[in-house]
Structure 1
């Protein structure tokens, strides 16, 4: 029976929804998708990137998240129309942006990444709205940015082992780690408005998100740097990039919707009991 209560007090169909969300949030990494596309491990390509690429990457990630923050706080509240998320149109635009990156290489990352990031953010917001979120709420706007810090794909370090606990942590642990920064940023915006996005509470939040977002971007950049990829491959990689975050957004805002309906503690307890590999 779909209404049978299991996993504490959650109905069976809700647990199934939560199980699907967990499988996405903690077991679908971008590196795995790109490895299947290219036919070679992305981790090996990352190690071959020149040091200058790392500097360019960090600068591009900072710029992209700053731009995304401004968009989130200043314009997402205007996007309140109903209807299904425009996932395909956002993906097509991201593909066009990625084509430029693939054609002209690493030198375009500073121009291409902010465009792709904003496209992803708008798609994430579209998904949030479709899950009943209020895009005029500052906390919802920041929850859209949180998606850039979520990535459950497992990665290896240079010695072949798992990366450290700072980056390899579960979905609820990521949210818990950001909770203070999100709360401080929300309070600041509600008190001072959105005119100053370089304020310390907002900068601290972006730095925390940037550490995790930068890892995923490095995987994307490594794939685009492969000589045979070119413009067509760059477009395809960028479509994978936005598709990855669309999937994460669907799962993230599904969990948040269930939390509104059943309470945070009950949902988290049921989530932690789920064996997502089953």
Structure 2
């Protein structure tokens, strides 16, 4: 699963520092999404109400198909197009979001699988950056698992660690099984994006903003996901131990921020 040189494997690791960096990445992941909601002038839970019932009913199927298309396209492009820097992935997705939002719901729906492909390809690139081989079937499953996180428009200081849970193993699971597990949650997340792109008058701007937020969010969460996997391998600790230590730090960080906000009031 891991592509690691002997020299890299021998580099000593500062466990606490590595976790602190990943905590900061997790904290930064959702910041842009809240700014998007402020621009749109609504709450995330109200966005889905904007979608027609016929679209909401088909959203999970559309999400599953988008993931299937993204898997084939993202993996097939790896031998042709090199991995890009994070900012370039964000810029590309932002431009696509603007185009998708400009034509309202029909163009937003057409743009959806393309955006999911860009997101998955970016996640694969981050897996490689952390020393994992995106061609490995198990790593491909882990890339999909990143989509199991809450999404950038969720205003939540809590710790959403479902997608990192050491109790939910992907080993032995089929790709179809993983898709069926994450599709319902991702459908809700992508439904919020589609709804934002249909906001009257600002559809293009909302599409660009949401795509920027989504790309930034999933890239940060991919760094957290594969960073924790790398920490577990380099430290010799179990995945469960690493995730538990990370969760404690994340909760402590959230409590400190809440306390500071209370003090300022």
Tell me which interval the TM-score lies in, with the shorter structure as reference length. 0.7 to 0.9
Residues 123-165 of structure 1: CA deviation (Å, up to 9, x unaligned)? 1111111111122321112111111111266859xxxxx9xxx
Cα gap change, 1:231/1:172 in structure 2, threshold over 3 Å: closer, same or farther?
A: closer
2:209 to 232, 236, 249: 236
Output aligned runs, 1:49-88, within 5 Å. Answer: 49-71=51-73, 74=76, 76=78, 78=79, 85-88=84-87
Deviating runs (4+, > 6 A) in structure 1? none
Root mean square deviation, CA, Å: 3.0
2:219 to 240, 243, 246: 246
Report if aligned partners of 1:34, 1:42 keep a CA contact under 8 Å in 2. Answer: no
Return the TM-score normalized by structure 2.
0.76
- 1:273 equivalent to 2:263? Answer no
Return the TM-score normalized by structure 1.
0.73
Residue segments in structure 1 that go unaligned for 5+ positions in a row:
1-8, 157-161, 163-167, 186-200
Report if aligned partners of 2:36, 2:209 keep a CA contact under 8 Å in 1. Answer: no
Aligned residue for 1:213, secondary structure, equals helix
Cα gap change, 1:63/1:169 in structure 2, threshold over 3 Å: closer, same or farther?
A: farther
- 1:133 equivalent to 2:132? Answer yes
Output aligned runs, 1:143-158, within 5 Å. Answer: 143-151=142-150
Aligned residue for 1:183, secondary structure, equals coil
Cα gap change, 1:208/1:113 in structure 2, threshold over 3 Å: closer, same or farther?
A: same
Report if aligned partners of 1:97, 1:235 keep a CA contact under 8 Å in 2. Answer: yes
Aligned residue for 2:253, secondary structure, equals coil
Residues 21-54 of structure 1: CA deviation (Å, up to 9, x unaligned)? 45357xx277534313323223223223220221
Report if aligned partners of 1:105, 1:225 keep a CA contact under 8 Å in 2. Answer: yes
Partner Cα distance (2:140, 2:246) in 1: 24
Quote the residue 2:96 is aligned against: 97
- 1:225 equivalent to 2:198? Answer yes
Partner Cα distance (2:28, 2:224) in 1: 7
Partner Cα distance (2:86, 2:28) in 1: 17
Quote the residue 1:184 is aligned against: 172
Q: CA deviation at 1:56?
A: 4.0
Cα gap change, 1:30/1:209 in structure 2, threshold over 3 Å: closer, same or farther?
A: farther
Q: CA deviation at 1:242?
A: 1.3
Quote the residue 1:197 is aligned against: none
Report if aligned partners of 2:15, 2:231 keep a CA contact under 8 Å in 1. Answer: no
Partner Cα distance (1:54, 1:30) in 2: 25
State which drifts further: 228-237 or 213-222.
228-237
Cα gap change, 1:30/1:53 in structure 2, threshold over 3 Å: closer, same or farther?
A: farther
- 1:202 equivalent to 2:175? Answer yes
Partner Cα distance (2:114, 2:73) in 1: 11
Q: CA deviation at 1:71?
A: 3.7
Residues 97-131 of structure 1: CA deviation (Å, up to 9, x unaligned)? 21222111112344211100000111111111111
